[in-house]
Amino acid sequence: MMKRRNFLAGSAAGLGLMAARRATAAETVNVYSARHYPSDQILFDMFTKETGIAVQVINGNAEELMQRQKQEAENSPADVLITVDAGNLWRAQEMGLLQGVKSAVLEKEIPENLRDPQGRWFALSKRARVIIYSPDKVKVEELSTYQDLANPKWKGRLLVRSSNNIYNQSLVAAMIETEGVEKTEAWAKGLVANFARKPEGGDIDQIMALTAGLGDLAISNSYYFARMLNSDKPEVKAKVEKLKIFFPNQAERGTHINISGAGVAAYAPNRANAVKFLEFLISPEAQKVFADANNEFPLRADVPPAPVVAAWGEFKADPVSVTALGKNNAEAVKLMDRVGWR
Ligand code: FE
């Protein structure tokens, strides 16, 4: 890996190698993607149109793709790995699946807390982990922080998915980073005591449960709420429109943020194309597609979020480095297990 990076720095031998590679695998970038949005194809087509580089995509869940890449090792055709959640990107990095990239474009556009300091992965979009609530049951003045969700006043009222989901693991990992294990564990214990039901389903199911009156407030990623507000099923839309979104910890550190992101594969056969591809994904036109298609927050300040998201207004985001979500993941999983968050 080190050797190849030196080649790319421009040594004569390196240029020879690159020419040889170009001749065999000309103008292609192979993408292993754990994102499953039809709109991602729009992005890939835009990239091909702009650069002439064909995008070959292999879809799978994050774990499958990482295991596949690991088994393929230096024979892997993967140039880019795309996945959601910094916890997954960190894991890919720890498994040696990604290589460091220096890119002035990526470093300029992507805030430092949303990328690996060694350039092994970069955020492409942001999502917030928020509170969705029934205003019939909860007054906005009663809401404040994630920490407050452990308050006994919420007993039997809180909906949240299981602990085996990485979104919750990352929320706990972020809290471990800023509050320490002990405080976080006491909090998680209180949280579990407030569950409205045994965790089941994903974030959307928690919001659906809210509409069915099975609880009063739910923890969810922001884009799911947006997606449901845009639902083409009128009966879902009507119910979800009665709910409200709350961004926790505005008077403190800010709301927990996670990312969707990508990195260049450790043995990328088309490394230069891979870097070009990542740089394209944070261009204003690509960021607009990200923002509109999945209702995530664009990384660039010059690209507005989708109208449904923009309607929520501005909020303060926790500035903690998302590397903490990976670093503290194992500790978070153990902690959630100890407090009985199933
Ligand atoms: Fe999701």
Domain match, 201 and 334 both: yes
**Spacing, Cα 204 to ligand 1 middle (Å):** 9
The count of C-alpha atoms lying within 13 angstroms of the C-alpha of 183, restricted to the half-sphere facing its C-beta, is 11
d(CA 303, CA 312): 16
> From the CA of 331, how far away is ligand 1's center (Å)?
22
Cα of 224 vs centre of ligand 1, distance in Å, is 7
How is residue 43 written in tokens? 């992005």
- Cα-to-centroid distance, 260 and ligand 1 (Å): 9
Domain holding 325, by residue range, is 127-256+314-338
Contact 1, 11 (CB under 8 A): no
- How much distance in Å is there from the Cα of 165 to the middle of ligand 1? 10
Element at 273 (helix H, strand E)? helix 271-281
Comparing CA positions, the residue from 238, 231, 242, 234 lying closest to residue 132 is 242
Residues 158 and 24 in one domain: no
The CA 13 to ligand 1 mean position distance, Å, reads 44
80 and 171 share one domain: no
CATH code at position 55: 3.40.190.10
Distance from residue 145's CA to the centre of ligand 1 (Å): 22
Q: In angstroms, what is the span from residue 133 Cα to ligand 1's centroid?
A: 19
> Per-residue pLDDT for the chain (342 aa), expressed as one digit of tens each?
333 333 333 333 334 344 434 444 469 999 999 987 778 899 999 999 999 999 999 999 999 999 999 999 999 999 999 999 999 999 999 999 999 999 999 999 999 999 999 999 999 999 999 999 999 999 999 999 999 999 999 999 999 999 999 999 999 999 999 999 999 999 999 999 999 999 999 999 999 999 999 999 999 999 999 999 999 999 999 999 999 999 999 999 999 999 999 999 999 999 999 999 999 999 999 999 989 988 999 999 899 999 999 999 999 999 999 999 999 999 999 999 999 999
Residues 48 and 193 both lie in one domain: no
Going by C-beta distance under 8 Å and a sequence separation of 6 or more, which residues neighbour residue 104?
none
Number of separate domains in the chain:
2
Question: What pLDDT shows up at residue 293?
Answer: 85
Same domain, 38 and 66: yes
pLDDT, residue 26, reads: 62
Quick check: helix, strand or coil at residue 267?
Answer: coil
Extended beta strands in 51-140, E state? 54-59, 80-84, 98-99, 122-133
User: In terms of Cα–Cα distance, which of 36, 250, 220 is closest to 128?
Assistant: 220
Pair 210, 331 in one domain = yes
Same domain, 212 and 239: yes
Ligand 1 centroid to residue 7 C-alpha, Å: 38
Span from the CA of 269 to the centroid of ligand 1 (angstroms) = 30
| 26 and 97 belong to one structural domain | yes
CA 120 to chain centre: 15
Distance 9 CA to ligand 1 centre (A): 38
283 C-alpha to ligand 1 centroid (Å): 23
Question: Is the domain of 205 the same as that of 223?
Answer: yes
pTM over 0.85: yes
What distance in angstroms lies between residue 28's CA and the mean position of ligand 1's atoms? 28
CA of 61 to the centre of ligand 1 (A): 12
Q: How far is the CA of 192 from the centre of ligand 1 (A)?
A: 22
Residues 238 and 330 in one domain: yes
Q: Do 281 and 320 reside in the same domain of the chain? A: no
Pair 189, 112 in one domain: no
What b/e readout covers 127-157, taking b as 16+ CB neighbours within 10 angstroms? bbbbbbbbeeebeeeebbbbbbbbeeebeeb
